[in-house]
Structure formats: C-alpha cells, structure tokens
C-alpha cells in the first residue's frame, strides 16, 4: 500500500479469494487382481471434468498413499494396471481427476477429492 494524500492505493492486484473451484471426481473405483506375478487393475467411471487426466496414488494406508507412489494418466483413462503392487500388504489406491482452470491471473490444475479402494496382496 502506498498513501498519497488521504487515499491509499494497493500495488498488488487482488485475487478473488471467495471463489472455490470444485472438480467432479471419478466414480465407482474398483480394484481386481490378476496374473502371475499378481497385478492390480483399477477401473472407474470417468469424471465429466477430467480435462487434464487423473492421478493414481498407492500406499499401505490412506494417509500413506498420498506421500508414496504416484502415476499420471492421460485424459480419457478409465483403467490402470499396477504391475508392481506391494506383496504381503493391503495396497490402498487413491484416484483424483485433474482439470485445468483458467482465471484472470493464470492457469492451474485443480484436483478432485480422492476416491479410494484397497486390495490385499498375498
């Protein structure tokens, strides 16, 4: 802020912080195991807003999944195969749809809330 006489002026353009951007998540996430060695195939119903694809996360718990292995999938994806699931553990998978949002201040990738499923690998 600078002050000239009795008036104050901001030197920064203000962002509208009251706006919230919500991206619709994928639905019906399911995990199946198949093959030898065991692989995990995820399938889902596409989000109508996934203009930038999806992100898949894997871990041994919900908390752990967001800090571990991640894959980026292209727009239009409705399945994914994990060829190296964690043996002897419950594998937790989170899926987030990604949408590019453009505002007057630029563009960013907005992620949906996560949907999740888990599968025990012997």
| HEC secondary structure over 76-116 | CCCEEEECCCCCCCEEEEEEEEEEEEEECCEEEEEECCCEE
pLDDT, mean over the chain: 87
The answer to pTM > 0.95 is no
pLDDT digits (tens, 9 = 90+) for 92-109: 999 999 999 998 888 999
Pick the CATH number of 29-120 from 3.40.1160.10, 3.90.650.10, 2.60.120.10, 2.60.40.10: 2.60.40.10
C-alpha distance from residue 75 to each of 8, 62, 70, 92, 99 (Å): 47, 24, 16, 22, 10
Check residue 68 and give its pLDDT.
81
Max distance between CA atoms of the chain, in angstroms, equals: 78
pLDDT digits (tens, 9 = 90+) for 2-40: 555 666 554 444 444 445 888 999 999 999 999 899 999
Residue that wins the pLDDT comparison between 65 and 98: 98
Nearest to 65 by CA among 94, 96, 97, 25: 94
């Amino acid at each position: 802020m600078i002050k000239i006489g009795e008036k104050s002026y901001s030197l920064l353009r203000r962002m509208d912080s009251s706006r919230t951007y919500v991206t619709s998540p994928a639905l019906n996430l399911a995990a199946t195991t198949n093959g030898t060695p065991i692989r995990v195939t995820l399938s889902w119903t596409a989000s109508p807003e996934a203009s930038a694809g999806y992100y898949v996360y894997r871990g041994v718990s919900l908390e752990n999944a967001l800090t571990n292995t991640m894959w980026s999938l292209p727009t239009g994806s409705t399945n994914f195969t994990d060829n190296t699931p964690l043996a002897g553990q419950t594998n937790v998978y989170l899926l987030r749809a990604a949408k590019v949002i453009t505002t007057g201040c630029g563009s960013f990738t907005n992620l949906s809330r996560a949907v999740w499923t888990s599968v025990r690998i012997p």
